[in-house]
Amino acid sequence: MNSVASEAVLIGLDWGTSSLRAFLIGAVGDVLDEISTSQGIMHVKGRDFDAVFHGLIQNWHSAAPLPVIASGMITSRNGWQETPYVSVPAGKDALANALVPFTTSKGIAVHFVTGMTANHNGAPDVMRGEETQIIGAAAMGLGDGLYVLPGTHSKWLVVKNGGIEDYKTYMTGELFGAIKNHTILGTFMEEGPFDKEGFVIGVNAGLSAGADLLHTLFHVRTMPLFDKITPEMTADYLSGMLIGAEIASGTAGGGDQPVTLVGRGDLTDRYEIALSIAGRESRRAPENICARGHFEIARSAGLLS
CA end-to-end span of the chain:
21
pLDDT at 37: 96
Which ranges of 183-230 does DSSP label H, i.e. alpha helix? Answer: 196-209, 213-216, 219-225
CA–CA separation, 205 and 216 (whole Å)? 7
Residues of CATH 3.30.420.310 domain(s) within the chain?
Answer: 172-284
Question: What pLDDT is recorded for position 45?
Answer: 94
Give the pLDDT band of residue 57 (cuts 50, 70, 90): very high
The pLDDT-based confidence of 56 (bands split at 50, 70, 90) is very high
| 3-state SS, residue 282 | strand
pLDDT at 25: 98
Secondary structure element (H or E) that encloses residue 296, with its range: helix 289-300
pLDDT at 2 over 60: no
Q: Burial of 266 by CB count in 10 Å (0-12 exposed, 13-18 middle, 19+ buried)?
A: exposed
For the residues 5-17, what does the mean pLDDT come to? 92
Cβ-Cβ contacts under 8 Å for 164 (sequence gap 6 or more): 88, 89, 90, 91, 116, 131, 134, 135, 157, 158
Task: Look over the chain and give the mean of its residue pLDDT values, rounded to a whole number.
Answer: 95
Closest CA to 5 of 59, 46, 56, 55: 59
Q: Does domain 172-284 match CATH 3.40.50.1110?
A: no
* Ranges of CATH 3.30.420.300 domains, the chain: 2-143+287-300
- The sign one gets for the Cα dihedral 224, 228, 230, 234 is negative
Instruction: Identify the burial level of 103 via C-beta atoms within 10 angstroms of its C-beta, where 0-12 means exposed, 13-18 middle and 19 or more buried.
Output: exposed
Pairing type for strands 20-25 and 10-15 reads antiparallel
Which pLDDT belongs to residue 26?
Answer: 96
Q: Say if CB 273 and CB 203 are below 8 A apart.
A: yes
The predicted pLDDT at position 298 comes to: 98
Residue range 93-114, pLDDT digits in tens: 999 999 999 999 999 999 999 9
Q: What pLDDT, on a 0 to 100 scale, did the predictor assign at position 39?
A: 96
Tell how strand 259-261 and strand 145-149 pair up. parallel
Residue 61 has a pLDDT of: 86
When pLDDT is averaged across residues 246-262 and rounded to a whole number, the result is: 89
pLDDT of residue 303: 97
Give SS3 for 138.
Answer: helix
The reported pLDDT for the residue numbered 62 is: 83
The residue ranking higher by pLDDT, 263 or 238, is: 238
Q: Does residue 33 surpass a pLDDT of 90?
A: yes
pLDDT, position 264: 85
Q: How many C-beta atoms surround the C-beta of residue 208 within 10 A?
A: 13
Superfamily of domain 2-143+287-300: 2-keto-3-deoxy-galactonokinase, substrate binding domain (3.30.420.300)
Helix H or strand E encompassing 103: strand 100-103
Distance between CA 253 and CA 56 in Å, rounded?
A: 44
pTM of the model: 0.92
- Pairing outcome for strands 163-170 and 20-25: unpaired
